Structure 1
Amino acid sequence: MAFVDKYGPWALITGASAGIGAEFAHQLAVRGLNVALVARRGERLEALAEDIELKHDVRTLAIVADLTAADFLDTITAALDTRHVGLLVNNAGSGFTGAFLDHDLDAELNMLALNCRAPLILAHHFGRRMRDHRRGGIIMLASIAGIVPTPLFAHYSATKAWNRFLGEGLHEELARDGVDVVSLCPGLTRSEFFEHANVDPSGWPAPLRATIMTPKHVVKAGLKGLGKHSQVVPGLSYRMLMRASRLAPGSLPPWIVDRVMRFALPRTH
């Protein structure tokens, strides 16, 4: 089945105003899907929608929504009207580094709502419709931090493990219904996330900076794995790290990551 027949006519992408989300919008438009773009920054969304329509022969829809709001799904479904979403990209997420006990609890709960509650609601709502049509796909943005527990990034790491487990479980559960699900687990990726997480990689050693990927690389790997794998880890260096972590004693990977984080975040801890 052609990509657009399997996952079209519309893709819904959360966190679409920049970074990995914006790159998903472009690459899916190249494949012929119309794209519904969801984020809080309306001007960014409108500019991206205009750019995509100029470059690709597809339609776009900009939906301004706060995914931490209690009624965000009503906002999205009202904007979509009768448009059928055949591909859901649960990309929106946030995180911040530092000692867990020094963080504001309300900020942590807000991150939990954005990183876990929102993708749960969206996967349940649109997954049902995909199951009824016996076709479609869901991409869950996880992280290698959701594979290896990450000190000084502990809650974010836990939310991404949640996304990874939900995606991998649904991969098996929905396959019999014709719906493809993949957990995409990127490592360090060049985007606004560094700024939001208070991370400055400019002072890192060259070998560590060399592992930073582009959104284009991450998205390409995710789309390539959709319908084939339950989990995708982009980048050879990260795949090697994941293999090594499975061979090491259970306490070793977090210990290593703790040392890396303390080096990378000297001002934090």
Structure 2
Amino acid sequence: MTSKYGPWGIVAGGSDGIGAAFAHEMAARGLNVVLVARRIPVLEAFAEEIRAKHGVEVRTVALDLSASGALAELASVTSDIEVGLFVYNAGGDDFSTPFLDKDLATHLLLVHRNCDSVLEAAYRFGGPMVTRGRGGVVLVTSGAAWAGGATLATYGATKAFDLILAEALWAEWHASGVDVLSLVLGKTDTPSMRRVFDAKGEPYGEVADPADVAREALDHLGDGPTWIFGSPDPTGASPLGALSRRDAVLVMSRAR
């Protein structure tokens, strides 16, 4: 992995859940890792865990990716290293509620973190990869991107943005030696998912293991543009693709 992508990888949203699983898997494959998240004590403790288990270099960058200037700061503090793999995993929605039950500021922060910051990350870190002729970008998106659904308006819309952005970047960059993968996930056992279900008092049901997600995504990073985790046809079409748009929206809404 280091020879194909480079010595360093960044995991945005890298302190728990899927991001933590990516950090472990990347380090296990020899990459030094930059962990990006908001909570400094959690970041530092997790960095020590990665160093002890995998023997790689680990940097921590405490940033709120919904804040203005966060990606410019991240690019600045990592300007002395060659970043060959960027995983953008931040952007879960802890509160699956009707559109008008959230205040406008909450919606706009989610849009900024899941759209503006993702685009800026791809631009700032993907550009040098294209210039070098090697690298990889993983944008973690969601089955919520397949169609609109009740209580998923903003979250689903942002994840659709990420899915289409990754596919377009794959089309532009894969001939230059840069792999881009839109990683579409269903229900995955993360702290964010547990908060949503705990708030509703609902059982978790069948969920994916973040370690399996990270391992499969890195194994298939070169099989873009899109990988649907858990699907019998992971490079195939949307599972709702045979439905009319209206029926797809109704199915998505009943699933909530």
Q: Which bin holds the TM-score, normalised by the shorter protein?
A: over 0.9
Partner secondary structure for residue 163 of structure 1: helix
Q: Deviations over 1:213-237 (max 9, x none)?
A: 1111211221122111211111137
Mapped contact 1:7–1:87 kept (Cα < 8 A)? yes
Match of 1:68 among 66, 69, 74: 66
Mapped contact 2:7–2:83 kept (Cα < 8 A)? yes
TM-score by length of 1: 0.88
Mapped contact 2:12–2:35 kept (Cα < 8 A)? yes
Percentage of matched positions with identical amino acids:
35
- Aligned equivalent of 2:222: 227
Range 75-84 or range 110-119, more displaced: 75-84
- Aligned equivalent of 1:162: 161
AA in 1 matched with 2:158:
T
Mapped contact 1:97–1:198 kept (Cα < 8 A)? no
Match of 1:22 among 20, 23, 27: 20
Mapped contact 1:94–1:114 kept (Cα < 8 A)? no
Work out whether 1:6 is the aligned partner of 2:38: no
- Label 1:242 to 1:199 Cα distance change in 2 as closer, same or farther (>3 A): farther
AA in 2 matched with 1:83:
I
- Aligned equivalent of 1:116: 115
AA in 2 matched with 1:101:
L
Q: How does 1:23-42 map to 2 (within 5 A)?
A: 23-42=21-40
- Label 1:111 to 1:243 Cα distance change in 2 as closer, same or farther (>3 A): closer
TM-score by length of 2: 0.93
Q: Which runs of 5+ in 2 are unaligned?
A: none
Partner secondary structure for residue 90 of structure 2: coil
Shift in Å, 1:242: 6.2
Mapped contact 1:187–1:238 kept (Cα < 8 A)? no
Mapped contact 2:75–2:124 kept (Cα < 8 A)? no
- Label 1:110 to 1:123 Cα distance change in 2 as closer, same or farther (>3 A): same
CA distance in structure 1 between the aligned counterparts of 2:122 and 2:239, rounded to whole angstroms: 32
Mapped contact 1:8–1:86 kept (Cα < 8 A)? yes
AA in 2 matched with 1:245:
L
Q: Deviations over 1:37-94 (max 9, x none)?
A: 0001111111111111111121100111111221212321332241110001011113
- Aligned equivalent of 1:181: 180
Partner secondary structure for residue 247 of structure 1: coil
Partner secondary structure for residue 117 of structure 1: helix
Match of 1:250 among 227, 242, 245: 245
- Aligned equivalent of 1:266: none
* Matched positions, count: 255
CA distance in structure 1 between the aligned counterparts of 2:104 and 2:28, rounded to whole angstroms: 41
Shift in Å, 1:149: 2.2
- Aligned equivalent of 2:105: 106
- Aligned equivalent of 1:267: none
- Aligned equivalent of 1:147: 146
AA in 1 matched with 2:249:
P
Partner secondary structure for residue 176 of structure 1: helix
Q: Which runs of 5+ in 1 are unaligned?
A: 262-269
- Label 1:202 to 1:27 Cα distance change in 2 as closer, same or farther (>3 A): farther
AA in 2 matched with 1:80:
T
AA in 1 matched with 2:115:
C
CA distance in structure 2 between the aligned counterparts of 1:83 and 1:36, rounded to whole angstroms: 10
Shift in Å, 1:125: 0.5
